[in-house]
Amino acid sequence: MEDVFSNFDLVLKAFWLTVQLAFLSGVAAMLLGTLLAAMRVGPVAVLRGVASTYVTLVRNTPLLVMCVFVFVASPNLGLFVDTPFLLKGTIAISLYTAPFVAEAIRSGINAVPVGQAEAARAIGMTFAQNMRHVVLPQAFRATVPPLASTLIAMTKNTSVVAVFGLTEATARMRDFVNDNADDTIAIFLVFALGYIILVELISLAALGLERHWKAAR
């Protein structure tokens, strides 16, 4: 245990990497997920097909397999060789998370009464304007709780890259466990606490957003 506290800078550095991974992947997954959701409800049949194929394909693929694809298989084919590991981690995690974001948003879009979109079309909004100004703002409100769940799951999922070249919190924990076999439980608790803090921050942000939007109605 002294080992953990005397090397606490390593713990913080590892969690900082976890935070970076979660933040970058979260932003990328939200953007890609929103795009996928819009494609799925959009008027272009080809895009609907592309988006729904992507969602089906990736949602049924374990994150570990996605990571093998990005970190191991792709470099063997000459892809992503010079890509920084943090970026590869972001790519793998956000590609994996985007379909879940898309489905959460799509359920939110479906919760917006159809009359809202019709009214927007009736005043001459294009599909993109309709999404941007009318449907998505309302969909996001209905989507905050499932999106928060998705982002929390994603934050914890960042631990998978512990075996793909990134010394984030879980990889660091395993270093400590390996060196201090007698203190496994205590080390586990320290790192679990770190994850709990991160996840609680997301929960609180979601709660704050919900309250803010409730007040705005």
Partner 1 sequence: MTVTDDVPVGNSAPRSGEPLVELVDVQKWYGGLHVLQDINLSVGRGEVVVVIGPSGSGKSTLCRTINRLEPIDSGQILVDGAALPQEGKALARHRADVGMVFQSFNLFAHKTILQNVALGPIKVRKQAKDAAEAHARELLDRVGVAHQADKYPAQLSGGQQQRVAIARALAMEPKVMLFDEPTSALDPEMIKEVLDVMVDLAERGMTMIVVTHEMGFARTAANRVVFMADGRILETADPETFFTHPESDRARDFLGKILKH
Partner 2 sequence: MRLTRFKVAAAAVLMASSLAACGDAGDDSVDGIDVDVQENAAEEFDEGTRMRELADSGTIKIGVKYDQPGIGFKGATDDAPVGFDPEIGKILAADLGIAPEDITWVETISANREAFLQKGEVDLVIASYSITDDRRKVVGQAGPYYVTGQQLLVKSDSDIASLEDVKGTEVCSVTGSTSLSNIEKEGATPRPFDTYSECVDQVLNGTVDAMTTDGAILLGYAAEHPDDLKVVVDPFSEERYGVGYSIDSPEMCEWIVETIEDAQEDGAWAEAFEVTLGKSGVDTPEPPEMDACA
Binding positions for partner 1, rule: CB under 8 A: 43, 113, 115-116, 118-126, 129, 133-134, 137-138, 141, 216-217
* Comparison of 30 and 112: residue with beta carbon closer to partner 1: 112
- Pattern 112-151, partner 2, x by CB under 8 A: ----------------------------------------
Question: At 62, is the secondary structure helix, strand, or coil?
Answer: coil
| Interaction partner, residue 165 (partner 2, partner 1, none; CB < 5-8 Å by kind) | partner 2
* Comparison of 124 and 178: residue with beta carbon closer to partner 2: 178
Of the candidates 96, 74, 98, 77, which has an alpha carbon nearest to the alpha carbon of residue 165? 74
Q: How far is CA 171 from the centre of its chain?
A: 19
* Comparison of 77 and 215: residue with beta carbon closer to partner 1: 215
Question: Hey, what are 149's tokens?
Answer: 């769940």
- Asked if residues 134 and 120 have their Cβ atoms less than 8 Å apart, the reply is yes
H-only helix segments in 42-113: 45-59, 63-67, 74-76, 85-111
Should residue 86 be labelled a site residue for partner 2 when binding is judged by CB under 8 A?
no
CA distance 112 to 133: 13
Which are the contacts of 208, defined by CB distance < 8 A and separation ≥ 6? Answer: none
| Interaction partner, residue 156 (partner 1, partner 2, none; CB < 5-8 Å by kind) | none
Query: Candidates 35-43, 52-60, 62-70, 119-127 — which segment interacts with partner 2 by CB under 8 A?
Result: 62-70
- Least distance in angstroms from the C-beta of 49 to partner 1: 17
Q: What is the DSSP letter of 165?
A: T
Should residue 42 be labelled a site residue for partner 2 when binding is judged by CB under 8 A?
no
